């Protein structure tokens, strides 16, 4: 993607809509890149549960928003729109937590037996096939970035560490958790592969 300009067709939310939703919602995540809030916003005439990803840097915001717009798919967290003034990406909120949560809580095994784990794996592979077909490498596939629907369908999230495939340059920074980086990445430092997917601890 040569430009960080946002597509004209991308849905925009105004500052007040986002500020009200965040004020009435709650913080659900924080990192060096920004803060994520959970709230409710009207999208296509319907009140929808949403995650508001408020990013610190304009370049990060525009790149990630553009990628979400390009890779829209049933197996990728849905993009509702953006608020440019607040550097905020508005995404669907999935209430069944992350894959990491279910792997870390033994009691959840009642609702998360192996046949559902296989379904999650297949959904994640479908997501990665689609993302790779868009010439994008996620670079941070881990249980924390796999969100689950109520029926345990899996959706890929968080494109903050992405790499545009075939862009010519290989970045030398380490991205993602060491335990989820594949051998080719470790060997070549940052020529990343998303195909090592771990569904167990």
**DSSP code of 96?**
T
- 151 is known as an active-site residue: no
Task: Quote the CA–CA distance of 16 and 49 in Å, as a whole number.
Answer: 17
Given 140, 158, 169, 194, the catalytic residue: 140
**DSSP code of 7?**
P
Work out whether strand 79-83 and strand 46-55 pair parallel, antiparallel, or are unpaired.
unpaired
DSSP-based three-state secondary structure for 187: helix
For 53-78, the DSSP string reads: EEES-HHHHHHHHHHHHHT--TTBPP
* Catalytic residue list: 140
């Amino acid at each position: 993607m040569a430009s960080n300009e946002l597509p004209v067709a991308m849905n925009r939310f105004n500052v007040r809509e986002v500020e009200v939703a965040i004020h009435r919602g709650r913080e659900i995540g924080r990192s060096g890149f920004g803060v994520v809030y959970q709230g409710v916003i009207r999208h296509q005439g319907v009140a929808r549960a949403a995650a508001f990803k408020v990013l610190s840097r304009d370049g990060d915001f525009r790149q990630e928003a553009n990628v979400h717009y390009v890779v829209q798919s049933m197996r990728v967290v849905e993009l509702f729109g953006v608020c440019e003034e607040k550097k905020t990406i508005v995404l669907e909120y999935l209430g069944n937590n992350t894959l990491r949560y279910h792997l870390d809580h033994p009691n959840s095994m009642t609702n998360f037996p192996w046949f559902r784990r296989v379904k999650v794996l297949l959904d994640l592979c479908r997501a990665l096939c689609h993302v790779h077909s868009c010439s994008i490498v996620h670079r941070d596939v881990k249980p924390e970035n796999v969100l689950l629907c109520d029926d345990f369908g899996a959706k890929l999230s968080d494109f903050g560490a992405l790499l545009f495939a075939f862009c010519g340059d290989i970045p030398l920074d380490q991205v993602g958790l060491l335990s989820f980086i594949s051998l080719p990445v470790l060997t070549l430092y940052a020529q990343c592969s998303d195909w090592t997917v771990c569904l167990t601890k």
